[in-house]
Structure formats: C-alpha cells, structure tokens
Structure 1
Amino acid sequence: MTGPLKGFLESLGKMQRKFYAKGLRLGCPIRTYLVTARSAASSGTRALKTLRSWGLEIDEALFLAGAPKGPLLDKIRPHIFFDDQMFHVQGASRMGTVAAHVPYGIAQKVTHKPSISNTAAK
C-alpha cells in the first residue's frame, strides 16, 4: 500500500530531474530533507530508500535518534513539512511553514481512547 504523498513526491522528483538534466544540480531550487526522530539503523533508512525509489533525490537525511525536531526545523525553515505526529505539524505551522499531517506510521496506532481537551471552550 502506498501513502497519499507518493504521487506528489514522484512529481517533485520529476521536477528535480529536469534541473539536473540541464546541469543545474546545484542550482535546483528544490531542496529536500528527510528529518526523522528515528535512528539510521531503524526504519529511517527504509524511508530514505522508499523516497529514492519514487525518484525523489534527498539533499540531506537527518536521523535524530529521539532528539526534538523543532530546533532543526527552525534552522532549515522548510516551505512544506509533513509528519505523522500532530505535535510536530503544529510546531512547524507556528513557524509559518505549510505543514500537513500524514495519518500513517507508528504514532497513529492508538491503544487507548484519546482524551479531548476542552480548554478552548473556556
């Protein structure tokens, strides 16, 4: 099963290759980062291989091994950010980044009933 972003990422890879074919690899305006809280030895490497198999070149892969993403995202300042955890999506959107939740991954496997905070209604 493929996720909802496969087509988008394949198209992004096609645009990258157009720049590369013209000898503009370093001048390509599309910079891609894989930023994962996982370590390279875990499923982080699998994600990198998947993206490459879809034709997307990754400029930098950052395996944080549990370290927070926020400080790194603040330095990178991505235009678009995708994550499977709403905490990271909300943090990136507060920076002014277009951020989207991807409803896949280990964080989506809820073993308890989620609680609803009612602080906004007070």
Structure 2
Amino acid sequence: ALGKLQRKFYAKNQRINCPIRTYLVTARSAASAGARVLKTLRSWGLEVDEALFLAGAPKGPLLQKIRPHIFFDDQMFHIEGAQELGTIAAHVPYGIGQ
C-alpha cells in the first residue's frame, strides 16, 4: 500500500510532495547489509528516500532528528530506546531468540 502511494506521486514527478517518506536506519554498515536490504525493499515495491548505515552507532539521536511516525526494529534494545524518546515503535521478530 505504501509503495502504491509513493508511485502515484513519483509518476506525476511530485516526489517532494509525497506524504510518505521512507528511511532505512540500520546499526549495520553499508558493506554488510546495504545492497541486500535496499534490493529487497525495492522488490517489494517500496522506495527508500534515505538510507542511513550507522555502523554500530546508537539510533536514538537520529530518530530524534527525523521524528518518524513509526519505527520498526528486530532488537528490543532499539525499540525501547525509541519509545523512551516518544517514538511509536514495533518489534519485528527475526532470527533465533527474537
């Protein structure tokens, strides 16, 4: 659904006015996860406006700046940190023990 909305704006050359702005914020480095995750999201029909690879740096300061409507992560540590800043956050279980 988000991808369809994005494409409607992009088709009219109105990307700047699109109400959906998608950020990819990962604690991993671009070398370890970058191309793969971007390729996956695009295959799902979702364009990423900005991709930020923090290479282990905390996500909290960046979340304070971009002020997302909702934040998804696979690690409870990052979910709890986002919630402490007042960001609505959802855990996406992935891997062993999640």
The two structures have a TM-score, normalised by structure 2, of 0.90
Aligned to 1:19: 9
Q: How many positions carry a matched residue from both structures?
A: 97
Where does the alignment leave 5 or more consecutive residues of structure 1 unmatched? 1-10, 111-122
* RMSD over aligned Cα atoms: 1.3
Aligned to 1:116: none
Aligned to 1:93: 83
Aligned counterparts, 1:1-122, within 5 A? 11-105=1-95, 109-110=96-97
Q: Please state how far the C-alpha of 1:68 moved relative to its aligned partner.
A: 0.9
SS in 2 for 1:100: strand
The residue type equivalent to 1:28 in the other structure is: C
Could you tell me how far apart the structure 1 residues matched to 2:87 and 2:22 are?
14
The residue type equivalent to 2:73 in the other structure is: D
Where does the alignment leave 5 or more consecutive residues of structure 2 unmatched? none
Identity of aligned residues (%): 80
Contact 2:71 2:89 in 1 (8 A): yes
The two structures have a TM-score, normalised by structure 1, of 0.74
Flag the structure with larger Rg.
1
